[in-house]
Amino acid sequence: MKSSIIRKLAALAAAATLCAPVMAQEGSPTRIIVPFAAGGPIDVTARVLADLVQEDLGTVIIDNRPGAGGNIGSAVVAKSAPDGKTLGVATLASHAVNPWLYKKMPFDAGKDFEPVTLMVYVPNVLVMNADKAKELNIDSVEDLIAYGKANPNILNYGSGGNGSGGHLAGELFRGQAGIDVVHVPYNGGAPAQLALLAGDVHFTFDNLATAAPNIRGGKLKALAVTTDERSKELPDLPTMKEAGLQDFSVATWWGLVVPAGTPAETIEKLNAAFVKAMKDPKAQERFQTLLVEAVPTSPEEFGKLMTEERARYKDIVAAAGAQVD
């Protein structure tokens, strides 16, 4: 009898040991990998939503893995278990530009992820140093193009580096406007903005969230937004298309993805939680202060956007001649 009881207790103990990892996994927090440094608009957006989805998903933590234009953090997502416990922030850079910019990629942007939802769509804006604009008597995109044609290779523009969004937008502008301008790459968007404010470069293409405070403060002269429609924040500012560049459309976006192989029902649950959070008044208020627009979508809609953007930027990167080893 005693040996029988001992055998049963041992069996129960073994079963408990086997079940322990499963139970721990079910109770483990969900993490969102942000492939950029803490404190920027992408990171803040993820943190706002992480707080709001905890009611539906339990504990959600942010894991910042910056580096290589988003490649380092995105690679971590691609190699994670497809169990719905790891999400990643996918951006225009990491999932549309980098596949053509980098000679070697640590993941396949089209095959290693499943889309969850688009989060944010941010207009880019063509801005000049306000003093330079006044000095050169430039008040519009048309004025900038006219000056560039009359003074080839005099105008220069700054960017966050070769292959960055600002660089590609600048090359798209150069090609469509038919002017010769000089590209000045910096080591990141912040140094490029400081160079513009100091008057070291004439113009940049920056995202509205970053540029708006200096536009409102009079330090920067905004000439146009690069999206198809005018910005809600700067409704008097024309689009590049309205300025005569009919094929010019560039915007920054970021959304959520999970590793390939994640079950459809898990993705649906995640989508519902994050779409609900994006519609929450608390999120809307915070996004307004960040000057970003929440654009919740279905997984299919976000997947279609990423596929289309990846195809479009293949030609843009090739035209710019940009490549990173």
Identify the CATH number of the domain in which residue 128 sits: 3.40.190.10
Q: What is the CATH number of the domain that holds 313?
A: 3.40.190.150
- Average pLDDT over every residue of 269-284: 97
Tally of domains in the chain: 2
Structure tokens at 179: 């002017």
The predicted structure's pLDDT at residue 121: 87
The strand pairing partners of 254, in sequence order, are 91, 120
Residue 289 lies in a domain: yes
pLDDT by residue (tens digit) across 2-53? Answer: 344 334 434 444 443 343 333 334 579 999 999 988 888 899 999 999 999 9
Amino acid (1-letter code) at residue 57: L
Q: Which of helix, strand or coil describes residue 40?
A: coil
Report the helix count and the strand count for the chain, using DSSP H and E: 14, 10
Residue 245 lies in a domain: no
- Average pLDDT over every residue of 270-282: 97
Q: Indicate whether 165 and 221 sit together in one domain.
A: yes
Handedness of CA 308, 314, 316, 322 (dihedral sign): positive
pLDDT by residue (tens digit) across 146-187? Answer: 999 999 999 999 998 888 888 889 999 999 999 999 999 988
Structure tokens at 256: 């959520």
Q: Indicate whether 266 and 256 sit together in one domain.
A: yes
Q: What is the DSSP letter of 131?
A: H
Q: Indicate whether 276 and 131 sit together in one domain.
A: no
Structure tokens at 2: 């005693």
Domain range enclosing 217: 123-225
CA distance linking residue 256 with residue 241, whole number of Å: 30
CA distance linking residue 90 with residue 76, whole number of Å: 12
Q: Of 13-27, 59-73, 196-210, 246-260, give the lowest mean pLDDT range.
A: 13-27
- Model-wide pTM > 0.85: no
Residue 264 lies in a domain: yes
Which among 190, 225, 260 is the end of a domain? 225
Residue 272 lies in a domain: yes
Structure tokens at 102: 């980098």
Residue 77 lies in a domain: yes
C-alpha to C-alpha distances, 305 to 69, 89, 122, 156, 309, nearest whole angstrom: 20, 15, 14, 32, 6
Q: Indicate whether 154 and 217 sit together in one domain.
A: yes
- Average pLDDT over every residue of 176-201: 92
CA distance linking residue 257 with residue 34, whole number of Å: 11
